[in-house]
Amino acid sequence: PTTASFLGSTSTDFPRTHEKISEPKDTPYFVDNEFRLSQSKDFVLVHDPATNNLVTRVPLMTTEELQDAIDSAQKAFSSWSRVSIIARQQIMFRYVALIKENWDRLAASITLEQGKTFADARGDVLRGLQVAEAACAGPEYMKGEILEVAKDMETRTYREPLGVVAAICPFNFPAMIPLWCIPIATITGNTLVLKPSERDPGAAMILAELAEKAGFPKGVINVVHGAHDTVNYLLDSPAIKAISFVGSNKAGEYIFTRGSANGKRVQANLGAKNHALIMPDCDKGATLDAIVSAAFGAAGQRCMALSVAVFVGETRSWLDELVAKAKTLRTDAGFEDGADLGPVVTPESKSRIESLIASAEAEGAKILLDGRGYKPAKYPNGNWVAPTIIANVTPSQQCYKEEIFGPVLVCVEVDTLEAGIELINNNDYGNGAAVFTSSGAIAERFRRNIEAGQLGINVPIPVPLPMFSFTGNKKSVAGGGASTFYGKPGVNFYTQLKTVTSKWSSASISPAKAELSMPTGS
Ligand code: NAD
């Protein structure tokens, strides 16, 4: 199988294997509801993270090709924005049904290109599917307001789409993040140019194929490829009215600044360092299980992974038990039955993670469980890092300050709840934080005082479902997080309000004299 041969296959006939592909096909781009091969001579090579065998080549598209995609979206906007919301909703219903039918095919593409286990890849698809399901309520979301503001006078609001919008996606959720954007952008009447991560574009290509099948007209959804040059082209294109970005701080802060300077709306979700505060009164077994799962699931490559465990008071003696639980996890290729976590995405990512582990050791922390050097016998060439637990960590160490984005849990010890809250609030990031306790009073104190945007109370990864919104805070969002993905705020991001004030009264037909002062509503 190749990424390209994922296209057009069915959910069940796609083999789930890490075998070497004899003739890998290049990933096409998608414009005007067609797959096209780029004429570019420059490619990014995508390898299966479990084997480092070549899976596909992703083109760094030419500017002419990128402009074709933007032109296609712009041409489609004038008609798509006038398609009735009920008709757009019907297409969204079909899109939801098709994603469900192709769930396994999407998940298999994710495991092959991104590396996460097949079961976890199915979860990646589900979290995106739920945004599409919620977007089916578009007619409700798009309703305006009306008020009689004075005698014979009323003001109404209409929600109107922005035009062509772009989405720039990260590698870690190849289905979920494109689906944070596609359904909300399109149900609200915008047309979209989406750039998946150049490291794993397969799921986005399948989503494009399904969009055409669901009945999205030509040009409503376009998928382009590339890296910074492609992003710069999108950021500088006058036709593009808004940019949605999810990814690292380095890229996101730059994209926010350049996109905003060009007059575009930008929503940007960035990196994280999510803490778990472990109180002595919590359910010990359930808490340690939750932490192991949230720290090492998806090999720690989730923006909401719990990457810092804060042990309060006597809970510091639970470290051995935590290590024992982590040791039972199986690190293996994503299609292998029983794999708990897969490889990390690239050899560069593996080296970066290993160097952060080494820095912890050099700075005086203690490696309680060391996942460096691990290799499953059947897959000696993969990007393996097994679960790693580092204790005696202090806030000045590099392993605490930086987002590791790998299966590495750093452990900090504090004496009191207050000291734990202070530690968490002193961290620059503010994506998520969780407390484990059986006390309502502690949970409430945590809830009131923690500055992170998404809190869990005995819930390790508190990502809100799409009837809410993804509400990161501090350095985990650009621009102060004024815009948040999906839910009602997502609809706000993709729409512009138009307010109409009208006066209808027979007395106003021929006023005796024009009134020049501002109306006061009396
Ligand atoms: P990344 O920033 O390297 O890449 C994201 C996108 O930006 C890609 O499409 C890439 O092509 C583009 N890009 C990268 N560098 C660029 C540059 N210099 N100029 C222009 N474009 C550039 O991120 P990644 O490694 O793919 O994803 C992991 C990061 O994403 C982690 O930091 C993680 O926390 C974050 N993330 C955040 C959320 C969230 O909701 N907060 C969700 C998922 C991932």
Using 50, 70 and 90 to split pLDDT, how confident is the model at 291? Answer: very high
Number of neighbouring beta carbons within 10 Å of residue 104: 17
Look up residue 446 and give its amino acid. Answer: F
Using 50, 70 and 90 to split pLDDT, how confident is the model at 31? Answer: very high
Distance CA 374, CA 264 (A): 46
**Best of 177, 231, 350 to mutate for ligand 1, by most ligand atoms within 8 A of CB?**
231
pLDDT at 2: 46
Q: Is the CB of 246 under 6 A from ligand 1?
A: yes
Q: Is 303 a catalytic residue?
A: yes
Using 50, 70 and 90 to split pLDDT, how confident is the model at 510? Answer: low
Closest ligand 1 atom to 271 CA? 34
DSSP 254-289: HHHHHHHHTT-EEEEE----EEEEE-TTS-HHHHHH
Q: Whose CA is closest to atom 3 on ligand 1?
A: 248
Span from the CA of 268 to the centroid of ligand 1 (angstroms): 10
Percent of the chain with pLDDT over 70: 96
C-alpha pair distances (Å), 189 with each of 92, 246, 491? 12, 22, 11
The answer, yes or no, to whether ipTM is higher than 0.95 is yes
Look up residue 256 and give its amino acid. Answer: F
Look up residue 41 and give its amino acid. Answer: K
Distance CA 253, CA 227 (A): 16
Look up residue 127 and give its amino acid. Answer: R
DSSP assignment letter at 343? -
pLDDT at 382: 98
Query: What's the token pair of residue 278?
Result: 């472990």
Look up residue 491 and give its amino acid. Answer: V
The three-state DSSP-derived secondary structure of 147-176 is: EEEECCEEEEEEEEECCEEEEECCCCCCCH
Angle formed by the axes of helices 118-135 and 85-101, nearest 10° = 170
Closest ligand 1 atom to 170 CA? 26
Pick left, alpha or beta for residue 8 (phi over 0 → left; psi -120 to 50 → alpha; otherwise beta): left
Number of neighbouring beta carbons within 10 Å of residue 359: 14
Q: Kindly tell me if the per-residue pLDDT of 1 is higher than 60.
A: no
Q: Whose CA is closest to atom 20 on ligand 1?
A: 228
Lowest model confidence (mean pLDDT) among 18-32, 236-250, 284-298: 18-32
- Can you name the residues that pair with 474 across neighbouring β-strands? 429
Closest ligand 1 atom to 477 CA? 41
**Best of 248, 302, 461, 486 to mutate for ligand 1, by most ligand atoms within 8 A of CB?**
248
Q: Kindly tell me if the per-residue pLDDT of 414 is higher than 70.
A: yes
pLDDT, tens digit (0-9, with 9 covering 90-100), for 440-498: 999 999 999 999 999 999 999 999 999 999 999 999 999 998 889 999 999 999 999 99
pLDDT, tens digit (0-9, with 9 covering 90-100), for 42-85: 999 999 999 999 999 999 999 999 999 999 999 999 999 999 99
Phi, psi of 427 (to 5 degrees): -75, 140
Query: What's the token pair of residue 222?
Result: 């376009």
Closest ligand 1 atom to 226 CA? 11
- Can you name the residues that pair with 59 across neighbouring β-strands? 43
Distance CA 126, CA 517 (A): 57
Alpha-helical runs (H) found in 14-117: 63-80, 85-101, 103-114
> Could you tell me how many residues make up the chain?
522
Asked if 452 contacts 277 with a C-beta cutoff of 8 angstroms, the reply is: no
Do the bridges between strand 34-36 and strand 29-31 make them parallel or antiparallel, or are there none, so unpaired? antiparallel
pLDDT, tens digit (0-9, with 9 covering 90-100), for 159-201: 999 999 999 999 999 999 999 999 999 999 999 999 999 999 9
Pick left, alpha or beta for residue 438 (phi over 0 → left; psi -120 to 50 → alpha; otherwise beta): alpha
Which residues have CB under 8 Å from 238's CB, separation 6+? 262
- Can you name the residues that pair with 86 across neighbouring β-strands? none
Span from the CA of 247 to the centroid of ligand 1 (angstroms): 2
pLDDT at 259: 98
Q: Kindly tell me if the per-residue pLDDT of 282 is higher than 90.
A: yes
H or E stretch at 235? helix 228-236
Closest ligand 1 atom to 247 CA? 30
pLDDT, tens digit (0-9, with 9 covering 90-100), for 467-483: 999 999 999 999 998 88
Mean pLDDT across 88-114: 96
Q: Kindly tell me if the per-residue pLDDT of 507 is higher than 70.
A: no
Span from the CA of 246 to the centroid of ligand 1 (angstroms): 6
Q: Kindly tell me if the per-residue pLDDT of 11 is higher than 60.
A: no
Look up residue 17 and give its amino acid. Answer: T
Span from the CA of 248 to the centroid of ligand 1 (angstroms): 4
Q: pTM of the full predicted structure?
A: 0.96
Asked if 56 contacts 27 with a C-beta cutoff of 8 angstroms, the reply is: yes
Span from the CA of 271 to the centroid of ligand 1 (angstroms): 8
C-alpha pair distances (Å), 388 with each of 354, 358, 377? 10, 12, 19
Local structure of 391: helix, strand or coil: strand
Asked if 88 contacts 189 with a C-beta cutoff of 8 angstroms, the reply is: yes
Distance CA 325, CA 435 (A): 20
Which residues have CB under 8 Å from 260's CB, separation 6+? 266, 479
**Best of 303, 403, 476 to mutate for ligand 1, by most ligand atoms within 8 A of CB?**
303
Distance CA 520, CA 334 (A): 67
Distance CA 153, CA 165 (A): 35
Annotated active-site residue in 136, 169, 181, 303 = 303
Q: Kindly tell me if the per-residue pLDDT of 518 is higher than 90.
A: no
Mean pLDDT across 85-93: 98
pLDDT, tens digit (0-9, with 9 covering 90-100), for 112-164: 999 999 999 999 999 999 999 999 999 999 999 999 999 999 999 999 999 99
Asked if 431 contacts 452 with a C-beta cutoff of 8 angstroms, the reply is: yes
Q: Which residues of 423-436 are buried (b: 16+ CB within 10 A; e: fewer)?
A: bbeebebbbbbbbb
DSSP assignment letter at 43? E
Angle made by CA atoms 109, 113, 115, in degrees to the nearest 5: 105
Distance CA 332, CA 337 (A): 9
Local structure of 503: helix, strand or coil: strand
Q: Kindly tell me if the per-residue pLDDT of 374 is higher than 70.
A: yes
Which residues have CB under 8 Å from 311's CB, separation 6+? 278, 318, 319, 411, 412, 413, 414
Lowest model confidence (mean pLDDT) among 50-59, 65-74, 416-425, 511-520: 511-520
Q: Kindly tell me if the per-residue pLDDT of 3 is higher than 60.
A: no
